[in-house]
Structure 1
Amino acid sequence: MSVEIKVPILPESVSEATVATWHKQVGDAVSIDENIVDIETEKVVLEVPSTVNGVIKELLVEEGATVGEQDVIAIVEEGASAAAPAEKAEEKAPEPAAKSEAPAETNSEDADKLSPAVRKMLAENNLSASAIKGTGKNGRILKEDVLAHLENASSAPAASSKSAAPAKTPQAGERNERRVPMTRLRATIARRLKEAQDTQAMLTTFNDVNLQAVIDLRSQYKELFEKKHGTRLGFMSFFVKAAIEALKRFPAVNASIDGNDIVYHDYYDVGIAASSPRGLVVPVLRDVDQMSFADVEKNIGEYGQKAKDGKLTMEDLVGGTFTVSNGGVFGSMLSTPIVNPPQSAILGMHRIEERPVAENGQVVIRPMMYLALTYDHRIIDGKESVLFLRTIKECLEDPARLLLEL
């Protein structure tokens, strides 16, 4: 029985998606709940699993195609088994003379039923389906068959290539270009960042912070902390907890604009900007004011791994009342981060650098970091932004304030 594989229910506010990667081709066996294809939306990548055990009968859309919710994208033949290897098929053939004709004849009949990936490879390499021997079910051409054909062609004897036109070699000073379509996620990031610049009165204020006390505290307790909680004690938990203390003192920084209203949030959901192979993502830590240092570190670590693996869900990304971005992990010394709407502010962290500073009339070397707060000036005044950063600075330079909530 043929079973339709459909695009799953898309997240709220998402109307369409892009077929990112097919993990199965026509003739491949699949088991129930095994991932067939990745579907990329504006915010997350969704896996589309098989609902039955069987064999891929047909792929209805190509990689890069735009699909909508509940669109049929593949057909699985339930209960079928994958085709036997080509070698076994050849051993069972009774007449050797017929072997060279059967695949070509079958390939000709099924030329219009090739998988999207195979058709794309044939077109890109100017190949004819009849020139390739298929090893799939009923002689169907698979992606591996095309790759094998290209490999054999490239390793052909040099004598046969002498009469061919010489390959084009790059000339000195030649400048090549490549045109690659934006992924849906990257296009959405670009659109939202531009919208933020166009709609908000963004301004950035700066301060610096001496992290010697934080570094000393980490050095003293990091081994005991990791042994007890099973996670490393990093810098992010100090900055997040310091930001929460500052947000409590200056509610406007934790608020947002909705039309002509200011919405003050009495909860603290902090987005942590993270880099992923598909672009910038901002998973959200919820109710951070109720978290311990260990909870913050564990959640950030889990989100970071999920971002690398492309496993973030829509629930991980929605919401957020404030964002922290750590460009320092890439070596950034100073930046002006862009607010993530509808939020009103974002804190930018940068690299820690030893610099000479004056303390008690003496010049000493201290591990310093520049902090940047970009904010929407329509809702946050300059005084509030400066005092907000100063609060973070005070909490980090005297970490006991965080424990005593001073």
Structure 2
Amino acid sequence: MNDIVIPRLNTNDATYILVEWLVAERAEVRAGDPVVVVETSKATEELSASADGFVYHLVGPGTECGVGAVVGQIRPQAAAVPVPAPVAVASGAAATDLVITEPARALMAEHGISEERVRALGRRVVRTDAVAELVGSATGTVALGKAQRAVADVVTASHRSVPDAFVAMKVRVDGALALGRELTRRERCLVGLPELLVKAVASLEPRFRHCYAALVGEDRLRLADAAHVGITIDVGTGLRVPVVRDAAARPWRDLATAVMRYRLGAMKGEADARDLRGANIVVALHTDDAVTFAVPIVFPGQVCAVSLGATQRELDLADDGTVTARTVVQLGLAFDHRVINGREAVQFLSAIRELLESPAGLEPLG
């Protein structure tokens, strides 16, 4: 059993307010997941789980908590055991009273937002994002959410620090799609183009080591120990880039199961911080219908990223004049021109294309 303890968040405050629980009573969490929000005199802070397990609330929203106070527990299993009732709000207010954080009150005062308007939102706890919505409705603006602000920070850092270039190729994938269907039946898990592409990209690390390296200073590279492939997942709740570690060594079933777990986690709004760290190359998926190709972001600390567009059907004219239909995709490669030159970028992308167009060479990789 692990206690959820209020840490010292700044040197000015001896106590903080527990604003809200981010997970329900007895919900399962993983180490690193945010579980509770507390308020200091200057800001709100999220506290994360220190271990895997099930969350138990010991303190209710609105409670004033001192440094070192135990506000909850993480137990190894959700057992049917008595749980202490959450501590009442320290101020003596009823549990149904509205809790407005100090930063939210400051924003209300700045923009003349009354408590009645805030109360009409119907929220138990009001933070700055809720007040920002009210401000936006009056000014015709919308505040970016926390997840999107995090994406913006990464994109800004990328454009500031990575002098990227881009190349794209058309790839025939009828054979790869047939292999995916065969592997799906055989392994009893979904193997599609994204999984095949992750495996193809990972398998090329020994041949193109610079593409998986990290630039150190101005003139040195730190080579990777293996291909740890990040894969972009966006189900409308913000971009996530979980990592398939040592993807070249993983059997097809293991790789596909990991990717599916990441998709399901994104759909449920769940995330394990450990799954989001350590990528040395990224596969960016843009597979919505009619998306022909996309230029991916090269994340800071990496030197290239591969993009996958949606499948397209087209007619192919053979040398003998025969016309057939085929399925193609556009593969793109954004790369740091300080590390990778255009010729090497084309060779790397061509090697990926060759694997996808030759299932006989792709299947044994898993």
Alignment TM-score, normalising by the size of structure 1:
0.63
- Number of matched pairs: 307
Residue 262 of structure 1: SS of its match in structure 2?
strand
Distance 1:402 1:31 in 2: 44
Matches within 5 A, 1:304-315: 304-315=263-274
Matches within 5 A, 1:333-348: 333-348=292-307
Deviations along 1:182-229, one digit per CA (max 9) or x if unpaired, are 333322221121111111110110101101111223344532331xxx
Distance 1:204 1:36 in 2: 37
1:183 aligns with 2:142: no
Could you tell me how far 1:382 is from its partner in structure 2? 0.5
Could you tell me how far 1:112 is from its partner in structure 2? 12
- Evaluate the alpha carbon distance shift between residue 316 and residue 71 of structure 1 in structure 2; reply closer, same or farther with a 3 A threshold: farther
**Contact 1:349 / 1:370 at 8 angstroms: preserved in 2?**
yes
Letter in 1 for 2:267: K
Matches within 5 A, 1:69-148: 79-80=84-85, 110=93, 114-116=97-99, 123-125=115-117, 143=124
- Evaluate the alpha carbon distance shift between residue 126 and residue 369 of structure 1 in structure 2; reply closer, same or farther with a 3 A threshold: closer
- Evaluate the alpha carbon distance shift between residue 36 and residue 183 of structure 1 in structure 2; reply closer, same or farther with a 3 A threshold: closer
Distance 2:84 2:182 in 1: 61
Structure 2 unaligned regions, length at least 5? 10-17, 39-45, 74-82, 106-112, 126-136
Q: Among 158, 163, 174, which residue is 1:201 paired with?
A: 163
Q: Partner of 1:266 in structure 2?
A: 225
1:353 aligns with 2:312: yes
Choose between structure 1 and 2: higher helix proportion.
1
- Evaluate the alpha carbon distance shift between residue 202 and residue 9 of structure 1 in structure 2; reply closer, same or farther with a 3 A threshold: farther
User: Which of these two proteins has the greater Rg computed from alpha carbons?
Assistant: 1
Could you tell me how far 1:248 is from its partner in structure 2? 2.5
- Evaluate the alpha carbon distance shift between residue 50 and residue 181 of structure 1 in structure 2; reply closer, same or farther with a 3 A threshold: farther
Could you tell me how far 1:36 is from its partner in structure 2? 10
Distance 1:126 1:58 in 2: 16
- Evaluate the alpha carbon distance shift between residue 248 and residue 343 of structure 1 in structure 2; reply closer, same or farther with a 3 A threshold: same
Deviations along 1:90-119, one digit per CA (max 9) or x if unpaired, are xxxxxxxxxxxxxxxxxxx84999441699
Aligned alpha-carbon RMSD (Å)? 4.4
Distance 1:192 1:177 in 2: 28
Residue 187 of structure 1: SS of its match in structure 2?
helix
Could you tell me how far 1:365 is from its partner in structure 2? 1.4
Matches within 5 A, 1:34-45: 38-39=36-37
Structure 1 unaligned regions, length at least 5? 11-18, 62-69, 84-108, 129-141, 145-174
**Contact 1:207 / 1:370 at 8 angstroms: preserved in 2?**
yes
1:400 aligns with 2:356: no
Distance 2:71 2:291 in 1: 45
- Evaluate the alpha carbon distance shift between residue 187 and residue 335 of structure 1 in structure 2; reply closer, same or farther with a 3 A threshold: same
Q: Among 265, 280, 292, which residue is 2:251 paired with?
A: 292
Letter in 2 for 1:297: A
Distance 2:168 2:197 in 1: 15
**Contact 1:208 / 1:370 at 8 angstroms: preserved in 2?**
yes
**Contact 2:5 / 2:72 at 8 angstroms: preserved in 1?**
no
- Evaluate the alpha carbon distance shift between residue 220 and residue 74 of structure 1 in structure 2; reply closer, same or farther with a 3 A threshold: closer
Distance 1:239 1:33 in 2: 32
Identity of aligned residues (%): 22
Deviations along 1:218-268, one digit per CA (max 9) or x if unpaired, are 344532331xxxx12222221112112333221111111011321111311
Deviations along 1:35-71, one digit per CA (max 9) or x if unpaired, are 995459xxx994699987756374359xxxxxxxx78
Residue 204 of structure 2: SS of its match in structure 1?
helix
Distance 1:127 1:314 in 2: 34
**Contact 2:21 / 2:37 at 8 angstroms: preserved in 1?**
no
- Evaluate the alpha carbon distance shift between residue 281 and residue 75 of structure 1 in structure 2; reply closer, same or farther with a 3 A threshold: closer
